[in-house]
């Protein structure tokens, strides 16, 4: 086997095992297939996928910071295990989007440091209102995220469901889990929070702004 042929074999093996290389040993661009997803950079709608992964990564990061803030205040109370269970699922969501960011070479939003602070402050601030305040925050945020995921599902269906099936599966799964969190919030007296309707509306308005900015910057 010549040196060039051996180099080509090594390059293709690194691609198969996850070490991404956009060029072959001969300098020609090759199609990168992600075996865990069954999607390639060549057959997806890059603009849509970049936007979706960037904003979802930011959203799951923000959700993690919200639950961190809630646990800082309520972690030792009776509702602590409920919050921890939801937070653990959000950690899994963030881990998955971290993987997708690398796989599809999507840059994170430049607003990550801002969401770090704002997310924790929102979680801790609503938790200071008591269990009901924390749960009202959960209901508002998770309802917004589920609605946002539904919009993304429609977008990917329009762009070609067969090309984006694996990403669709991820988003559908996470959407369903966010709705479970929403329902848990209602079960734990979210609607008894002070000024529940006003609080929910303000949080959801903030979520809409965060989604808009994180998609674009």
- Report the DSSP pairing between strands 39-40 and 33-34: antiparallel
Q: 82: closest CA among 191, 185, 175, 176? A: 185
Determine the Cα–Cα distance for residues 62 and 122; give it in Å rounded to an integer. 10
Q: Which residue numbers belong to the known binding site?
A: 60, 90, 93, 142, 178, 181
Contacting residues for 95 by C-beta, under 8 A, at least 6 apart: none
Determine the Cα–Cα distance for residues 204 and 144; give it in Å rounded to an integer. 6
Q: Which residue numbers belong to the known binding site for Fe cation?
A: 60, 90, 93, 142, 178, 181
Q: 191: closest CA among 134, 142, 144? A: 134
């Amino acid at each position: 086997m010549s040196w060039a042929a051996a180099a080509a074999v090594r390059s293709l093996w690194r691609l198969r095992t996850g070490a991404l290389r956009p060029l072959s040993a001969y300098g020609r661009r090759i199609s990168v297939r992600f075996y865990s997803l069954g999607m390639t950079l060549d057959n997806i709608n890059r603009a849509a996928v970049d936007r979706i992964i960037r904003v979802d990564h930011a959203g799951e990061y923000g959700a993690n910071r919200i639950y961190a803030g809630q646990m800082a205040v309520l972690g030792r109370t009776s509702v602590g295990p409920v919050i921890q269970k939801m937070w653990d699922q959000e950690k899994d969501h963030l881990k998955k989007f971290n993987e997708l960011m690398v796989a599809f070479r999507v840059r994170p939003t430049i607003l990550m440091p801002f969401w770090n602070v704002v997310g924790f402050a929102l979680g801790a601030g609503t938790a200071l209102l008591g269990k009901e305040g924390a749960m009202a925050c959960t209901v508002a945020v998770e309802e917004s995220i589920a609605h946002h995921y539904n919009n993304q599902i429609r977008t990917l269906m329009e762009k070609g469901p067969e090309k984006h099936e694996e990403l669709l599966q991820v988003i559908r799964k996470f959407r369903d889990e966010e709705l479970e969190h929403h329902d848990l919030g209602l079960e734990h007296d979210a609607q008894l929070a002070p000024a529940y309707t006003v609080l929910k509306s303000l949080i959801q308005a903030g979520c809409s702004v965060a989604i808009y900015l994180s998609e674009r910057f």
